[in-house]
Amino acid sequence: MIVAQISVSVDGYVAGPSPSLEDPLGAGGEQLHEWAFRLEAWRRPHGLEGGEVDIDSPLVDEASAAVVMGRRMFSGGEGPWSDDPNGRGWWGDEPPFHAPVFVVTHHPREPLELTGTTFHFVTDGVEAAVARARDAAGAGNVSVAGGAAVVQQCLAAGLLDELMVHTAPVVLGGGTRLFEDGLRPARLEVVEVVAVPLATHVRYRIPI
């Protein structure tokens, strides 16, 4: 199963205004993820102690056998890798994925092997990245982790089986939108709703 999970503001943004390498989520963007930051299920794979166990913990704990993400989610950079100050990514020496990660990029490079996670760099588009992730995952799930452009491309290409949207009770007023014009029309099926004070989580099944 190919599943995208992404956090979004009430007004539809996945990052705030003026994102930068120093502030990749833009002004106010970290608020979108406060629901996850508090959870033991999020903190544990990031090497942090403590945290809460709540009704939305299983959403973070869902296992993925492979991951797809965009270049900016990997490092925040663009252009040739030689110009990227975060060329090893900003996930540390032991990234939280513990699965192969396929990064959609225009710039080729050799795989980057870190503790528990290997990043593979795919230059022939999101469909090729998802196909490689599906092969690597076998019978397991593939997680499309973001950012917005990669989720949009997956939706437009009909690659997703499910979309999990985590809506934070925050208005950002600008930034990077989750949905843009050009998506194929579809009526989604709501299969799960989980509400906590910091987010409302809705899982949608996407028709073929």
* pTM value surpassing 0.85: yes
Sequence-distant (≥ 6) Cβ neighbours of residue 42 within 8 angstroms = 36, 51, 60
pLDDT computed for residue 86 by the predictor: 83
Question: DSSP letters of 85-110?
Answer: TTTT-SS-SS-S--S-EEEE-SS---
Computed over every residue of the chain, the mean pLDDT equals 93
Q: Which amino acid is at 179?
A: F
Token digits of residue 25:
């989520």
Residue 184 has pLDDT above 80, yes or no: no
Strand 199-205 relative to strand 162-168, pairing? antiparallel
pLDDT, residue 200, reads 98
Condensed to tens digits (0 to 9), the pLDDT of residues 1-19 reads 999 999 999 999 999 998 8
User: Which tokens hold the place of 42?
Assistant: 């999020």
Helix and strand element counts for the chain (H, E):
6, 11
DSSP letters spanning 15-35: E-SS--SSSTT-TTGGGGGHH
Beta-strand (E) ranges in the chain? 2-9, 13-15, 66-70, 101-104, 112-114, 117-122, 142-146, 162-168, 176-177, 189-196, 199-205
What's the pLDDT band for 207 if we cut at 50, 70, 90?
confident
pLDDT tier, 55 (very low <50, low <70, confident <90, very high otherwise): very high
Average pLDDT, integer, range 40-48: 92
What number is the average pLDDT over the span 149-161?
Answer: 94
Mean pLDDT of 79-96: 88
Q: Average of pLDDT values for 117-128? A: 97
Q: How confident is the model at residue 24 (pLDDT cuts 50, 70, 90)?
A: confident
Residue 97 has pLDDT above 90, yes or no: yes
Asked whether the predicted pLDDT for residue 88 surpasses 90, the reply is no
- What pLDDT does 78 receive? 84
